[in-house]
Structure 1
Amino acid sequence: MSRDNLIILAVDDDTINLKLLKSLLLKCSYIKEVIEAKNGSAAIDILKSRDDIDLVLLDIIMPIMGGIDVLKVVRADDNLRQVPIIVLTTDETKKLEALEFGANEFLMKPIRKDDLIHKMGTVLV
């Protein structure tokens, strides 16, 4: 991976998934911080209030604001559109839609550390 001290925004409405993702990520020496958001709306607020987020790991199916809507908002915003987003979901039928709306990569749940690290390496260049 090309950068150190990465700050990652993990977005998932499932607390257990968030905690697993966070613990998995924080085991990597090059990750400085994992910020958690429980829905897309909270994720957008965080992205707009911080300019130091290197990567978003985004669940698709969430209440309040789902992942596809987050992608639409982020990709339409000049200040946010360059932030890499990896979509995480259990629903493979959402893959095409997610990529169409600007996801950089797609990963099926349950997340395996090796797969996640590999995908992160492809988007963080």
Structure 2
Amino acid sequence: MTKLNILAIDDDIISIKLLELILSDNLYISSITTASDGLEAMEILERRFDINLILLDIYMPRLNGFEFLHNFKSRKYLQDIPIIVISTDATLRQRSMELGVLAFLVKPISKKMLGKLIKQVANNSS
């Protein structure tokens, strides 16, 4: 098992704080880094090579979740990092899955379901 360094990308500060709260006692997490949009997230990924899971919102300014996914997928050195999309819009599930994300969760998220996915990624990252 690998302890995960998570990058959470969401422009809604309340969603970020809720994610941090939900994940605060998760034994599979080493750290949580946050970004307020896809552009900031790409900048973080350019200098942080220890990120091994991304939690991604879709609706954001500057570089939205789909634009982030296209940028992300074009960089071969990032392609092994699993992405879980977390959105309020369930109609985006199909498009997200077609872009190769690990999972799609609808807000408000289930702590149990997110925990199960994090455990799966941690166990597969060793």
Taking structure 2 as the reference length, what is the TM-score of the superposition? 0.91
Taking structure 1 as the reference length, what is the TM-score of the superposition? 0.92
Percent pairwise identity: 40
Aligned to 1:3: 2
**Residues in 2 aligned to 1:37 and 1:58: alpha-carbon distance in whole angstroms:** 10
CA RMSD of the aligned region, Å? 1.2
**Residues in 1 aligned to 2:118 and 2:106: alpha-carbon distance in whole angstroms:** 14
Aligned to 1:99: 97
Q: 1:7-48 CA distances to partner (integer Å, 9 max, x unpaired)?
A: 100000100100110121121123111001000100111111
CA contact 2:5–2:33 (8 Å) conserved in 1: yes
Counterpart of 1:114 (choices 101, 112, 115) is 112
Where does structure 2 lack aligned partners over 5 or more consecutive residues?
none
Q: Which amino acid aligns with 2:28?
A: Y
Task: Specify which structure has the bigger relative contact order, considering alpha-carbon pairs within 8 angstroms and separated by 6 or more residues.
Answer: 2
Counterpart of 1:70 (choices 68, 71, 75) is 68
**Residues in 2 aligned to 1:38 and 1:115: alpha-carbon distance in whole angstroms:** 23
Where does structure 1 lack aligned partners over 5 or more consecutive residues?
none
